[in-house]
Structure 1
Amino acid sequence: MNRLLSLFPCWLICTTLGAQAQAQTPVLTTLQKISQTATINLGHRESSVPFSYYDNRRQVVGYSHDLMLAVTQSIQKELKLPALAVKLVPVTSQNRIPLVQNGSVDLECGSTTNNRERARQVAFSVSIFQTSSRLLTRQDSGVAELSDLKGRRVLVTAGTTSERQLMLYGETRGMRFDIESAKDHGQAFAQLQSGRAEAFMMDDAVLYGLRAKADRPDDWRVVGQPMAAEVYACMLRKDDPAFKAVVDRSLTQLMQSGEALKIYRRWFQSPIPPKGLNLNWPAPESLLDLYRTPNDRPLG
């Protein structure tokens, strides 16, 4: 016992010194980490058509993904790197924030809504899109509004703002919905096609993208009064102003130069993979306003 007691002060001192040394170890910023490793980890979605998704060759494509790759080129120039390796990391609605927080993903550009609740956990770039939630349903379902789904099954993607909006809508109006959550948008649409639910509630742009990807697009329609407007933005870690400044500067240049609009037209007004269908969706005025005066303000 005496010997153990005599060792205790040494153990305490060593532990204290170790903790102090660890506390004094500087935490690398994102730009420092990218510079040292010559690698950037980009988060992407698997079925967020036409923002970030797999094509028929399992290549990541989409509007948001193109913007993210352009930002990556700016980061490489900013750091004067002769080469920058890109590591693509698939994310879901549920794990995207934790993966950004723990450093597994440096930048995620997909269909992520910038709102005040999420801004307490991560940082957001200037906005890259504006949207609102609606419903995707069969042409012959008889569903025209959210109120038509009272007591019926509605699909949502887990961890999305649409899931919360649906629950809030039901609570404020005394309606009950049979809500079923899917892992991602692709799984939700597959379940809708199988007849597991009457409708799928999600951001309208994503719904039009899924419809375009369907085997029989004309069997489906997007209906319902648009819910509150939201903005998409690229997501990055909090408290890293230098990295956010580079990302924002690059996106702002893309928007104000007209390059972002060209990218938009490629994905919303031209045939897109995998079936070569055209969403035929001209850029709304709200998006053009974002392009003219980029900002990172959330709408909710």
Structure 2
Amino acid sequence: MKALEATKAMRAAVCGMAAAVCGVPAAHAADAPAGATLAKIRETGTISIGHRTSSIPFSFYDGSQKVVGFSQDICDKVIAEAGRRAGVASLQVHMVPVTSQNRISLVQNGTVDLECGVTTNLKARQQQVAFSTTFFVAGTRLLVKKGSPVQDFGDLSGKAVVTNAGTTSERILRRLNDEKKANIAIQSAKDYGESFLILQSGRVAAFMMDDVLLSGVKTTAPAPADWTVVGTPQSFEAYGFMMRKDDPEFKKLVDGVITGLMKSGEIRVMYDKWFNKPIPPKNVSFEFPMSAAVRKAYEQPSDEAFE
């Protein structure tokens, strides 16, 4: 019995250290048992949300360092419903920045209860985490300087290209190199801001990523009109929120909120706010009309992966 208590104490100490590193309470750093997310929220009065720092217009910091965006607006609706369902009147929200490299592990180990960013729902990832109903569909393309000789993926042979580490785009580029013997020099950056800085520096010929994110990052340039998105989409990406596996109660809550926004039409109002009107940080409009793929996702809600 004493040995068991000692083991529990050691586990608690490890979790406490993990929380100190992550900057969130120990209860959020420990692995949560199956089906325990709402119980955890009820017990602690808190929910931990994973967000991105520069994924315009989905999840990013505004001028006041507040997390805003299309994903965050949807996420706020989920947070409100989670608080209501858990019976917590004043739910505390811990915002945890995540990257392409660590987002899955932070969901798995309980540091993050719900990741509200720009993560593609893939069958391989479903072995590790659960995904919500798809809330956006993007195509992987290229961002280049206007007038660039690179207009499609066939023009990348022998050139340098940057993308974000740990993304579908990185995997596609490596596959292109292997299959086409294209001799593409692939550079991997930590996030969208760093990738775009590398492109602007002239060290690479193109930045490959989801078209909507490329449209977003170019609005941060001193002269956004100097940059253009080109190329035939190499894949279509279904974005969903990530949460821990084996918690059907919490997934049902998240899916219900997102599907409800689609059925009521409110998600279209949110879309118009972030994609067709001026937004932070530069008060520039995306002018990114809703695609047929996105319309279909809203008319026929699904959590199916495209691959």
TM-score exceeds 0.5: yes
Tell me the amino acid that sits aligned with residue 87 of structure 2: K
Distance 1:280 1:200 in 2: 20
Q: 1:153 aligns with which of 157, 160, 165?
A: 160
Tell me the amino acid that sits aligned with residue 176 of structure 1: N
Runs (4+) of structure 1 exceeding 2 A deviation are: 13-22
Q: Which residue of 2 aligns with 1:215?
A: 222
Contact 2:37 2:250 (C-alpha < 8 Å) held by counterparts: yes
Q: 2:47 aligns with which of 40, 46, 59?
A: 40
Q: 2:107 aligns with which of 96, 100, 103?
A: 100
TM-score, length basis structure 1: 0.91
Is 2:240 aligned against 1:233? yes
The Cα of 1:283 is off from its aligned counterpart by: 1.2
Is 2:33 aligned against 1:27? yes
The Cα of 1:171 is off from its aligned counterpart by: 1.2
Q: 1:242 aligns with which of 249, 252, 255?
A: 249
Q: Which residue of 1 aligns with 2:185?
A: 178
Moved more, 75-84 or 229-238: 75-84
Is 2:289 aligned against 1:282? yes
Tell me, what secondary structure is at the counterpart of 2:119? coil
Tell me the amino acid that sits aligned with residue 53 of structure 1: F
Q: Which residue of 2 aligns with 1:118?
A: 125
Q: 2:74 aligns with which of 50, 63, 67?
A: 67
Tell me, what secondary structure is at the counterpart of 1:238? coil
Change (3 A) 1:263 1:151: same
Instruction: Name the count of aligned residue pairs.
Output: 286
Is 2:91 aligned against 1:84? yes
Tell me, what secondary structure is at the counterpart of 1:283? coil
Larger radius of gyration: 1
Tell me, what secondary structure is at the counterpart of 1:116? coil
The Cα of 1:56 is off from its aligned counterpart by: 2.0
Distance 1:139 1:237 in 2: 42
Distance 2:157 2:65 in 1: 38
Is 2:194 aligned against 1:192? no
Is 2:172 aligned against 1:165? yes
Is 2:304 aligned against 1:292? no
Distance 2:261 2:293 in 1: 17
CA displacement, residues 77-113 of structure 1 (integer Å, 9 cap, x when unaligned) = 1122211011100000001001101111000111100
